[in-house]
Every structure is written in C-alpha cells, then in structure tokens.
Amino acid sequence: MEKNTSIHIPILLTPIVDALIEPFVKAPKPAWILDLTFGGGGHTAGFLNSLPPEHGVIGVDQDEGALVRGKARFPEAFASGRLKLLHARFGDLDPETLAPHLDGRPVLGILADLGFSSDQLEDPARGISFLREGPLDMRLNPELGVTAYEFLRDVTERDLADIIFELGEEKYSRRVARLIVESRLKGELPKTTLAFASLVERAVPPPARQGRIHAATRTFQALRIHVNQELQELDHLLESVILNLEAPGRIAVISFHSLEDRKVKQKFRGDERFEEQTRKPIEADEAELELNPRSRSAKLRIATRI
C-alpha cells in the first residue's frame, strides 16, 4: 500500500504507462523501468500498479528529498526490492554506473520527465517559483553548482541577455539583462524570488505585463535551465543513459521547452537504434488541462529500441 506524501500530479500518466508497460507483457525474465525523474513518484505509482509483480522500478532523482518522500510513499515496494531509489543526475548515469543496481536484469523502459515537480515548485527554499518568497537559488541539488543569485552577481550583461533569450525565449531579454546589471552595480541585486520577479517585471513594457503568463516567467525558466545545466543533462541522457535500454524496450521523454523537444525529436528520428513511435508529440487533453494546468506545455515523445 502506498502512502502519498506528494502534492505533484503526474503528467500524461495513461499514455506513458500504456506505452512503457507493453514490452513487459511478454518479457522472458524480470526487468526494470528506469524512472529517471522520480519527483513525487506519480509515474512510478502507475508503473508499480500496472507491471506484472516480477518486474520493478528504479527511481532516480538528484533531489534527495524526493527519494525520502518516495520511501514513505512506497514502503512495501521499497522493502521488497521491487522499487529501488537512486540519488543521481542524468550526468552521473551510464551503463557502467547503473550495472550494480540492475541485479543482472535488463532495462525495458525509461521515463524522463524534464519538468519540475509541484513539490519542488511549491518549496520556497528552492527559489524556483516567483509565487513564493524564498532565496534566489533554483538548484535542484543544493550541494551542486552555484545559486541563481551567485550566477547573476558575476555574469556579463551580454551573456545574461543571450541566456535569457535562448533558454527563456524572452524577446525583451536585452532590457531585462540591462536592468539586472544596473541593479547589481547599485548594490541592489535582489536576493529573493519575489523581489527579483518584481525587478524583471519592471524591465518589460507595460502592455506586455498583461499577458497570459507573468512577465518574469521566461527569465525564471532561463535561469533555472542554466543553473541546473538541464540541456547538458538532456544531452547525456540521449547519448549515454538511453543505451541502457534493451530491445524491444521503450523510452518516453516529456519536455516543456522547444529546445528540449527538438533534441529529443532529432535523437529519436536520427538514431537507427531507435524507432520513433510519435511523429507528433502527445499533449494533454482538455480534461487533463483542467485538472493540471501545468501540463499545458508538456510534449511527450516515445521511441522503441530496435
């Protein structure tokens, strides 16, 4: 029995579970699904409920708090060894480092949800969201790298503008970068999320502040992607971690940014070892959007190892 200690709602749960479970139906021996972004454990719950009992899930997350919550949510599966939890990033994983955790079993399913869980977004201490006051940190793993504030304290205006434009797709990136650097030169660089969001909002022309999303959304996204090296982690996933998958296993990737989706699409279409199952990405339907508005920008692509 699972004890749900997470507020996160898993995105596109049904098509993911349906796709990844299929190779296990006729699997000749016990195998694993790798849930590479364990988060709140929502997708893992779907896998554990649907997999034949001889198969299991290895949940991976660089957020150690997510794994602590996972042990509380799935005590029986964890105690029996049907669920393993591994503290790591994509960049830490390759066939050699994963081998000791597989117990000789093949990997027939891989899931990577490139978004942040609601548990992480709602945690003020992480400084990911401007909806809660907290330190301007943004790191998934607080033991790695520099905080967003530390990065902003040293970056040049030109480099900052490029990052905000490329990773946030913010058309006012130059104005935002200029105001951030001006505030830094005055010794007024904000150290908290709400103050920083207010600063970014002032850089955007008044008419653009009335849009569907908050004026600071794209800048926060860009800084979060940069601070956590999310695109570099995705590259490692697609070039190394994915090779743990054995035929006829499947991989599913949920992306939330055009740069991420483009990388996944190119890999699934350009690597002869994989067969793309989704010519167009699967997106949330109206029922899911109503239940979970955060699924609006999610794009799911699936491929089979051949």
Residue segments in the chain with a per-residue pLDDT below the cut of 70: 1-8, 116-128
Question: What integer pLDDT is reported at residue 8 of this predicted model?
Answer: 62
pLDDT of residue 213: 83
pLDDT digits (tens, 9 = 90+) for 184-234: 999 999 999 999 999 999 999 988 787 778 899 999 999 999 999 999 999
Q: pLDDT (tens digit, 9 = 90+) per residue, 49-75?
A: 999 999 999 999 988 888 999 999 999
Question: In this predicted structure, what is the pLDDT of residue 93?
Answer: 86
| pTM reported for the whole predicted model | 0.86
**Homologous superfamily of 13-119+230-305 in CATH?**
Vaccinia Virus protein VP39 (3.40.50.150)
Tell me yes or no: is domain 141-227 CATH 1.10.357.10: no
Contacts made by residues 67-74, CB under 8 angstroms, sequence distance 24+:
67/38, 69/5, 69/6, 69/40, 69/41, 69/119, 70/38, 70/41, 70/44, 72/3, 72/5, 73/2, 73/3, 73/4, 73/5, 73/6, 73/41, 73/45, 74/2, 74/3, 74/41, 74/44, 74/45, 74/48
* CATH 3.40.50.150 location in the chain: 13-119+230-305
The whole-number pLDDT of residue 1 equals 42
